[in-house]
Each structure stands twice: as structure tokens, then as C-alpha cells.
Amino acid sequence: MTPKEVRNRKTARRTQQNRIKTGFILILIMSAVLLFFIVRFGYIAASGHVGAVDLSEKTKQIYQQDNVLRARRGTIYDTNANILAEDSNVYTLYAVLDKKSVSAAGKPLYVTDKNKTAQVLSQYISLPADKILQFLSQKNYQVEFGSAGRNLSLDTKQKIEAAKLPGIFFTDTPSRMYPNGTFASHIVGLAQLADTKTADNISTKQLTGILGIEKYFNKALTGKNGSQISKRDSYGYNIPGSKTVTKQAVNGSDIYLSLDARLQSYLEQLMQNVQDKYQPKKMDAVLMNAKTGKIVAATQRPTFNAATKKGLGDLWRDSLVEDTYEPGSVFKLLTLSAAIDSGHYNPNATYQSGSVTIGDSTIHDWNNSGWGTIPFSEVIPRSSNTGAVAIERSMGADIWQQYLNRFHVGQKTGITLPGEASGSIQFKTPLDRAVTSFGQGIDVTVMQMMSYLSAIANGGKMLQPQIIDKTINSQGKVTNYPTKVLGQPITADTAKQVIAAMRDVVEKDYGTGSVFKIDGYENQIAVKTGTAQIAGDDDKYLTGSENYIFSVGGIAPADDPEYVLYLTVQQPDLTDTSAEKIMSEIFNPLMKRALKYRTTSANLDENAIKMPKLTGLTTAEAAKTAQEKGLTVAQVGQGAKIVQQLPAADEKVIAKQRIVLLTEGAMTMPNVVGWSKNDVLKLAEITGCQFKFSGTGYVTSQSLNAGEVLTTNKTITVKLAEP
């Protein structure tokens, strides 16, 4: 064998060996891959997951259709059943542009006439036709129209649908409607869409309370969503004979607040007038029924429009319950109450006003020099700091502290609003105890002050401020919120003596509250004014004549209290006026109107008419029925049948009261000249339209003429004036 043949044989042998090795390696690799797939498929079959994907859930999505049956969120009403917050839907407009989009019958489901479509849509959304045409000229499958095409009302949607424009569609979104705009906004609160899941783990978006009553009672208002589960084939059709499982939704409870829309609206006007005129940094106001603790009207500034969210920004605090501050001289009423009740008060004894030294500190009266030697009966009318200190020292620290505890100073009231603060008190040193007598060294909330004042107005019984009248669940079960007495810190006789001192604040020529006299209610207004310092960032009090929280607490009528009204105004512009004059611009007209309504309410109970059911009747039948009851009819629309009415059937009304009837078809503006604001609010509620008010009293003019079509995307301005 030649050397060449030997080399060839060796090469062939190595080649054969390499082939064997390669084949063996390939067999190992294939066996490993096969084993991996066997293990992988076994794991998938056992676990039902591929990575983070749940295969059973994917299969369920393909062959099972889960629909959420939305529960209706409960409606929030005022005490007279006027709607303050209710469920609604808003709509988003979109256009399909792809010409391949046709129905099974070959009907175009895309925009066929872009110019016509742009012209029609421009009548209903806030975009000109040329801008709409730009959207319609895009190359996308479908387009939306920005903010102009979102949050459309049902009325606008129906009007666009009536034009029968091919390729124009809507998506609906649950929404919350606040028909009164700026109206106790932080109390009523807000509900917004949030991601949630049903009990069957179905994802959905649901309205969730994030502020005020909407937040505090979110669970009760929300109810429980239901579901409908059915089987379907791979084409999306229901499988014949398959069972559909339905779990009905449980609607949320309706909540009736103690607020009276008539007085609340008036308070909002008065507060806004003062805000615009004097530019205070902050204001709070609460009107409460002295006998029940029910809040009749309450608001704050700054505030926001709940319908438009204008002014909301970062303003999420309900200052009536969440903000604490030093109350100042209104707190002297507690000092006097404790001294009288404990037997440490002699109104005829005298003291030296002006200043008093405690340790290394000197306390001055607000005018620095005082009024010489004066009787203790003048401490409250003159608002003497030194007199309050003298009264506190006559009681002693132990007794004073006992009464602070009786009044629950530093404790929450338990009002049904979220985020209530407890306040605090400094009581360690003689100086601490002295300054508490005139409202320093103490932090309170507005609602705590309402509770303290209720004890004086209500014969010594201290009431819990309440904002809820009742709740009614979806089965009709009523839960009432009765008056709650928190304690009796003082006797009825003590309360009468304190009210007498408050009367002197108004009636005596040396009183600090003469500006709070109200015509027609002579000697029936009892008040106490206050001026509290404001702590700065360095824990030192701010200086300057305007850097105070000015306040007034009032009770009326003094001989049989019905109302407690408390106001605070922080750092207003005092260039041409006094703090007391500013507060009187809210206090006097509101208290006068409340006292007037008290008489009206008494007459209502005696002469009440039961509101008939008018919906479903023809316009002629409804008008005749209402007029036979002695009611004044206002008709909205020119339709033949009544579809809505305010007040609702079975509510109490009085003779000549204006009722609003909505007919089928287009809504038209009535002549509202001569109407009260409350009547116009009924019109706003029943139509869903926005109204802007200027002035107070009765309507003198309207921006939309009678007979013109009402639309929800335009604000109607009405001017009011006192008759």
C-alpha cells in the first residue's frame, strides 16, 4: 500500500468518526430539545400559564362574554329634595374614515360627505367647520375631535344623531352631574371615574368619591355592580342552549343633606360678593338650626364650581372641618359660660381694664389703654381681654379645665365629613391658661365652634353639627339621622345669661357689634365678635391691621333661638371699611332671610299642598290640574306631553308656588323675568343647562330670549335685583 493510500484511509477513518460524533451530538441535542418541550408542555398543562399569561383566562376571554351591569350611584339631595349630585352619562364623538367599514347589508359606516358632516357638527361642538374638516381629512381609520368632542350631553348627542350622518358615532362614559355649580362644593364633594373590579373580578371604570359627602359615603352611594356572563363561539356569537348567568346590580343609596338650597344659594352669592369686593385670603360660613344641629347652609372661600371644576386646582381641603385656627374673642363666650355656671361670676363687680401682667408677659386690651375701672358685665360687649383673664383667674385652672373638657375642646365633633381635625389646647403654664380665656393657645375647627355655640343657643345642651337628614337605600329602607346631644356643659339659666351678654354686644352703645342690628328684629340678635392673630412660619404672630382672622358668632331670635350663624374672614382689604362691616354684609341679609323662611315654613306646614303627579299627562291636562291646585305653571318646551316635573309628585308645596314642567321634544327657554333664583335653579335642574347669576333678589333680565332653544353647552346669564 502506497503512502498515499495509507493517508487516504486515515482521512476516511477520521471522517467516519467525526460523522459518528456529530450524529451523536445531534441526537443528544434533539433529545434535550424534545425533553424540554415535554417538560414545558407538561408544566403549561398543569399550571395553565405561559409566563405571566393565564391561558384559562385567555380562553375565557375568547369563549366567555362578561358584561358589567352598572349600579346607579345614589343621588344627593338637599333637605327639600332638590338634586345636588346625580348620575349622568357624557359622550365622546368620533368619526370612522375607512371606506372598508360597511355593514353586512353594504351600508357605509364611514363618513361619506365630509363637507356636510363638518357643517352639521360645527353647530353642536365648539369647533368651526374648517377645523372639523381637517380632522375628517386625516388618513386614520377613525378620528376624535379633541376636547371639543368630549363630555357631550345626551341632548347634544341626540341632536347630532338626528342629522343621520354616516360614520359618526359616540362612546359613553359614566359621569357625575352637579347642576348647581358652586354650591357647598367641598361639602357635597366630587366623584370621578376610577378603575375597579366587580365581585366576579370583571374590570370596569366606576365613579368613586374623592371629596366631601361623595367620599365619606362612597360605599353607600356606590352600591354593587352586577354582571352577566354568557358563552360564545370563536366568532363571537352566543352558543345556542348555553346558560347566561346574571347577577343583578344593587343601586346605591340616595342621601338627603340638611342643606336648604334657598339659603345655600343666597349664602354663596353673599360670600362671593364679599370675596370680590374685599379679597380676603380665606372665608368660612355656617348657618345651623339651633334646636337640631342640622347645617342649613355652609360654604368656604376659596371654593370651586363642581360642574366645571373651575377653581379646584389643588384646593382639596374642606376648611370647615380640616383647618384649625385660634378662634379669638368669640371663645370668650365659653369663659363667661364656665364662670356663670360654676358660680364665679359677679356682673356688678369691677376690675381695672387696660393691661394685666402674668409672669414676664403683659396682656393688653385690644385698644391697649382699656376703659378704666369697669364692671364685669361689660367684658363681653367691649370684648375685653383683661376682663376675660380676670374671669378665668377667679375660677382657677382646675374649674376652667373642667369646663373646657365639658365643651369637648380639642375633640372631634363626629360630623359625617371626611378629614375632621381634633384641634388642640395649651394649658401648662399660668400664661397658657390666661390666654385661653380670650381664644389664644387653642386651635379649633369651624364645626367645633358651631358645637360650642349650640350649647348656648340650645339651653345648655351641646349638639353635634349634622349635615345629613337621611339616607334611602335601593330597597326603600330609610335611615334617619336624629339630633345628637354631645353633652350639657352648662345649665339653661347659664345659657340665657350668656345670650343676654351677647345682646349687649349689639344693643349697647359700647358694644363691638352694633353693625349687626337687623331691621324688624330689634333686640333679637345676639352676637360675639372676634379678632384672632395668625401665626407665621416662624411661630410668631403676624403684624399689621389686616393680618387677623375676624369672626362673628350669632344667635337669633335671642328669646327663642332658631339659628346659629358663624363667620370667619381672614386678612381682608380694610382700606375703606371695618372687619365688622364686611362680616355684616353676609351675616345680616342671611340671618334675616333665614328668619323670614322660618315663618314661611310654619305657614307651609299649615297650608301645604300635595304636589300632583303631572308626568305622562298632556300639557293642557297638566296645566289645568296644577292651576286647580293654585300653582303657577312654567312650561319648558312645546311638546304635547309632560316628561318631567319639579317639584316631584307628593312633595309639599304652597299656593302660587312656581312649578316647572318639561315637555317632550326640544327644550325652549321660558320668560323667567320675575322668577326667584330658586325657581331658576329648578329650571337648571330639569334641563341640565348652566345658569350664571348676578345680583340678588328676582330676575330682571335673561341673556336667552323666551322661546329660543335651550342647549346644555351654552351658559345663560340672568340678572337679579331686590324688589
- How many beta carbons lie within 10 A of that of residue 107, not counting itself? 8
State the cell numbers at 23: 450524529
Task: Please report the beta strands in 152-234, taking only residues with DSSP state E, as ranges in sequence order.
Answer: 168-177, 190-197, 203-211, 226-231
Nearest to 190 by CA among 81, 92, 282, 307: 307
β-pairing verdict for 609-610 and 652-653: antiparallel
Question: What letter represents residue 376's amino acid?
Answer: F
- Please tell me which residue in 153, 185, 227, 329 is annotated as part of the active site: 329
Question: What letter represents residue 567's amino acid?
Answer: L
Q: Taking CA 718 as the corner, what is the angle to CA 186 and CA 272, rounded to the nearest 5 degrees? A: 35
Give SS3 for 23. Answer: helix
Would you say 270 and 586 are in contact if contact means Cβ atoms under 8 Å apart? yes
Nearest to 264 by CA among 177, 179, 185: 185
CA-to-CA distance for 676 and 646, rounded, in angstroms? 15
State the cell numbers at 174: 359614566
Question: What letter represents residue 586's amino acid?
Answer: I
The torsion angles phi and psi of 519, rounded to 5 degrees, stand at -60, 135
- How many beta carbons lie within 10 A of that of residue 99, not counting itself? 12
Which H or E run contains 632?
A: strand 632-636
CA-to-CA distance for 694 and 273, rounded, in angstroms? 10
Rg (CA), the chain: 36
Whether residue 329 lies in the annotated active site? yes
CA-to-CA distance for 160 and 521, rounded, in angstroms? 56
Catalytic residue positions, numbered:
329
